[in-house]
Every structure is written in C-alpha cells, then in structure tokens.
Amino acid sequence: PGGYRKRVWSVGGVTRVLVAAPDGSLAARGQLAPTGATAVFDRIETAPAHRRRGLGSVVMRTLQATAAAAGARTGVLAGTPAGRGLYESLGWHVQAPLTSAKFMGRDAG
C-alpha cells in the first residue's frame, strides 16, 4: 500500500524483510534461512495496526522468491492459528500440529 516501504537484506545467510509504515514504525517483518533444498521461515509478523492490508503477503512472497532463487524446494515454518489463513492463501498447508511449551524451572510453579 502507498506510503509503506519494504527493505530486504541478507546477513550470514539469513534474509530479512522489513516493511515500514509511513511513520517509520514496524508494520510487518519476516526472515528466511535457506538450508539447501529446504528453507526455514521465521518471525513472520504483521503489527496489529497494519493487518488486513496485504503486508503479510508482501513479506511471505518476497521470502518465498528468495528461497526459490536459492534452490529451496520446500519451506518450513511454525505458524500460529492467526497466521494460518495467510499461509494457506499462499499455497502452504499444515503438515503437523505444533504444541507450544515453556519451562519456567523447577521452583516456578
């Protein structure tokens, strides 16, 4: 959308995409680490105030193109239920459910 700016850069084999809002704040982001035939997508996020504007699609399509250019044929990501609609609209499908767990230490409960 008008006024948003996309920045793409790579460091140490990891490609990052950042979409800045017109005021310069974070609107959307994501990163990708190709590992040969597979690419790992991570930290895909659209800030709440900027959702439903196509920014998540911009991030994912940019990362997908980068992965394909690097020779990846398979993409892997751990997504939230909130992101599932975006991923499925881009051709991704659920391979297996994921359960989140957090260890707080033996004395934390």
What pLDDT digit, counting tens, does each position of 31-74 carry?
A: 999 999 999 999 999 999 999 999 999 999 999 999 999 999 99
Q: Distance between CA 71 and CA 69 in Å, rounded?
A: 5
For the segment 21-28, the average pLDDT, to the nearest whole number, is 97
Q: Where are the domains of the chain?
A: 5-89
pLDDT category at 29 given cuts 50, 70, 90 is very high
Query: What pLDDT does residue 109 have?
Result: 57
DSSP string of 30-92? EEEEE-SSEEEEEEEEE-GGG-SSSHHHHHHHHHHHHHHHTT--EEE----GGGHHHHHHTT-
Contact 81, 30 (CB under 8 A): no
> Can you read off the two tokens belonging to residue 3?
């006024």
What pLDDT digit, counting tens, does each position of 73-107 carry?
A: 999 999 888 899 999 999 999 998 888 888 888 87
Q: Distance between CA 13 and CA 43 in Å, rounded?
A: 16
pLDDT category at 22 given cuts 50, 70, 90 is very high
Contact 81, 46 (CB under 8 A): no
Q: What is the pTM of this model?
A: 0.88
β-bridge mates for residue 39, sequence order? 34, 75
CATH class of segment(s) 5-89:
alpha beta
For the segment 3-15, the average pLDDT, to the nearest whole number, is 97
Q: Distance between CA 5 and CA 70 in Å, rounded?
A: 24
